[in-house]
Structure 1
Amino acid sequence: MNEDRELDREENRKPGRKQEPGSESQAHQPNVNGSQALKHLQSTTPARIGVGRKGGTRPPTKAMLAFLADHAEARDAVQSNLSAEFVERFCRQYDCTLVDSSAGSRQDFVLFPPRGKRLSDAALSGLKAKLKAADVQIVISDGLSALAVEENLPDLYPMLLDGFEGLHISLSSPVMVQWGRVAVADQIAHAAPAKVAINLIGERPGLSCAKGLSAYITFNPNPATTISSDRTVISNIHDGGTPAIEAGAFIVKVVQRILKEGVSGVRLQALG
């Protein structure tokens, strides 16, 4: 039986011989560009689908180079810090205070996640003198992509200010956290105190996007009691997802409802 199969393969390899369905050559050289349905699917997502193969199981050169470039951008996003120019400009324009989390460096932040969830005692003490009681406390954290913050915040933040002002929702002074994670906003907003914490944070980069921002919104934030399911999340904020301006308007509506209902996270979702 094995000899018969090998003879069939040899016959299929002869010049001019039409390949039978499921033959070895067909399996390694799919016609990924011949389907209109596939082309439509490729146009609707940045995911790598139907890239084809060359020389057996290898991806085409163009697809491989694109993969390597996206992988490098994702690695750069994780390792990058907020630029001094961006921080200085934003903090001056919006009276924002820059603080560090208890992580001592970017490497420390990546290797020991809990250190990014809290400020040092000295940083928190200094903030308490500046923050004021308000409906909303906005925190900006570099998270795992400082690039996402620098890319999206200039369009997003003014939308939040205009929206909250129009609804007479009060804001405390914004705080920017270097090496910050989601939960650090609970500690800051609780110190203000504020009814709602918003953490605008750079998300973990992937191979299709390294500049995605998310907004984690929490009612009655408390570092001792708040858990992940208490947060309402608006994610995928970037040019290829939800544009920053549109996301800003939506965040305002969500916060308005959270203040009205007095809950966030899964309890807000349960209300329909």
Structure 2
Amino acid sequence: MNETNNTGIEPDEWEPLRAYTNARIALGKTGVSVPLSESLQFRLAHAHAKDAVYSQLNLDELTTALSITGLPVYCLRSRAVSRDMYLQRPDFGRLLDTPSEEQLRQLNSPPADISIIVADGLSATAIMKNAGAVIPVLVEKIQQAGYSLAPVIVVEQGRVAVKDAIGGILQPRLAIIFIGERPGLSSFDSMGAYITYAPRPGLTDERRNCVSNIREQGLSAELAVDKLMYLIDSAFRLQLTGVALKDNNELGTSNLPKRIADSEAE
């Protein structure tokens, strides 16, 4: 029989593993139940996750943070006119509304190598906490590598595939969307980045690469930028993204491939 400590909680043999993960393991027990403190922590985490799903972008604050890149920033909307519609009709989140399409077409922006898009996804909280730390650094690295950039596009009520709708209009060679990921009970503020070479409407998940769990307690901004630059350079070298493009970058920036300019870039 396991001994209880002075709080009346029977310890768990997995207790040492708690130092390495935020997962709910080794909670201990009191009788046949989990301790009250752990039950309350679960409810708090669940509340954070629900709040993240219904959180909203602060467009003024986000635009200011993204303007540091020196690129124009345009705020658009998907066809989901409310959060409830966004959750009930995923297909509406994958398309721009008509005014946004018209605004994008009127930009008359020449096709660039890379288009950066930001969407709230399932956690605007994740975007507000992480986008400002990642995107300006990534833009600097992209420009140093010699790639051209389209204006930054922010989409409210957007899903990953809205990147392809935007790509069909702006016609970049490659598009990246930063989006709030589905909140977990230990990560309500996680941002993901999806990369697609030759983005256009109708593409599916196997044509995308994802860098996930970008947040302070997960993948740091520095490592996220390194991974993204590796994937960007590899995508241009191979002229593809998705299941055929493997993330073999384990040694950091020193292992990044050099940009290879292909004939299509001319």
TM-score range, shorter chain: 0.7 to 0.9
Q: Which amino acid is the alignment partner of residue 72 of structure 2? A: D
Q: Which amino acid is the alignment partner of residue 11 of structure 2? A: N
3-state DSSP of counterpart to 1:134: coil
Residue 33 of structure 2 corresponds to 58
Q: After TM superposition, give the deviation of residue 249 of structure 1 in Å.
A: 2.6
Q: After TM superposition, give the deviation of residue 111 of structure 1 in Å.
A: 1.3
Tell me, yes or no, if the aligned pair for 1:90 and 1:96 is still in contact at 8 Å: no
3-state DSSP of counterpart to 2:195: strand
Residue 263 of structure 1 corresponds to 240
Q: After TM superposition, give the deviation of residue 88 of structure 1 in Å.
A: 4.3
Pairwise mapping of residues 102-121 of structure 1 onto structure 2 (< 5 A)?
102-121=79-98
Residue 158 of structure 1 corresponds to 136
Tell me, yes or no, if the aligned pair for 1:137 and 1:173 is still in contact at 8 Å: yes
Q: Deviations over 1:219-250 (max 9, x none)?
A: 111113x1110001110111111012321232
Q: Deviations over 1:9-30 (max 9, x none)?
A: xxxxxxxxxx6x9xxxxxxx74
Residue 83 of structure 1 corresponds to 58
Residue 164 of structure 2 corresponds to residue 186 of structure 1: yes
Q: Distance in 2 between matches of 1:105 and 1:87?
A: 20
Q: How many residues get paired?
A: 241
Residue 46 of structure 1 corresponds to 22
Q: Distance in 2 between matches of 1:88 and 1:247?
A: 21
Residue 122 of structure 2 corresponds to residue 147 of structure 1: no
Residue 200 of structure 1 corresponds to 178
Higher alpha-carbon deviation: 128-137 or 65-74:
128-137
Q: Deviations over 1:196-231 (max 9, x none)?
A: 11010000000010000001000111113x111000
Residue 11 of structure 2 corresponds to residue 31 of structure 1: yes
Q: After TM superposition, give the deviation of residue 140 of structure 1 in Å.
A: 0.2
Q: After TM superposition, give the deviation of residue 271 of structure 1 in Å.
A: 9.9
Tell me, yes or no, if the aligned pair for 1:142 and 1:202 is still in contact at 8 Å: yes
3-state DSSP of counterpart to 1:267: coil
Q: Distance in 1 between matches of 2:178 and 2:141?
A: 16
Q: After TM superposition, give the deviation of residue 267 of structure 1 in Å.
A: 1.6
Q: Distance in 1 between matches of 2:81 and 2:244?
A: 36
Structure 1 or 2: larger helix share?
1
Choose which of 212, 217, 226 in structure 2 pairs with 1:240: 217
3-state DSSP of counterpart to 1:197: strand
Residue 184 of structure 2 corresponds to residue 209 of structure 1: no
Pairwise mapping of residues 66-81 of structure 1 onto structure 2 (< 5 A)?
66-81=41-56
Q: Distance in 1 between matches of 2:113 and 2:124?
A: 27
Query: So what's the TM-score if we normalise by structure 1?
Result: 0.83
Tell me, yes or no, if the aligned pair for 1:91 and 1:98 is still in contact at 8 Å: no
* Superposition RMSD in Å: 2.1
Q: Distance in 1 between matches of 2:53 and 2:247?
A: 34
Tell me, yes or no, if the aligned pair for 2:112 and 2:150 is still in contact at 8 Å: yes
Q: Distance in 1 between matches of 2:139 and 2:24?
A: 38
Tell me, yes or no, if the aligned pair for 1:81 and 1:106 is still in contact at 8 Å: no
3-state DSSP of counterpart to 2:244: helix
Query: So what's the TM-score if we normalise by structure 2?
Result: 0.85
Q: Distance in 2 between matches of 1:249 and 1:218?
A: 17
Q: Which runs of 4+ in 1 moved over 6 A?
A: none
Q: Percent identity?
A: 31
Q: After TM superposition, give the deviation of residue 121 of structure 1 in Å.
A: 2.5
Q: Distance in 1 between matches of 2:167 and 2:137?
A: 21
Residue 144 of structure 2 corresponds to residue 169 of structure 1: no
Q: Which amino acid is the alignment partner of residue 171 of structure 1? A: L
Tell me, yes or no, if the aligned pair for 2:113 and 2:174 is still in contact at 8 Å: yes
Q: After TM superposition, give the deviation of residue 123 of structure 1 in Å.
A: 0.9
Q: Deviations over 1:164-222 (max 9, x none)?
A: 01110111001000000000001112211101110100000000100000010001111
Gaps of 5+ in 2: 3-8, 250-266
Q: Distance in 1 between matches of 2:102 and 2:111?
A: 15
Q: After TM superposition, give the deviation of residue 39 of structure 1 in Å.
A: 3.4
Q: After TM superposition, give the deviation of residue 84 of structure 1 in Å.
A: 4.0
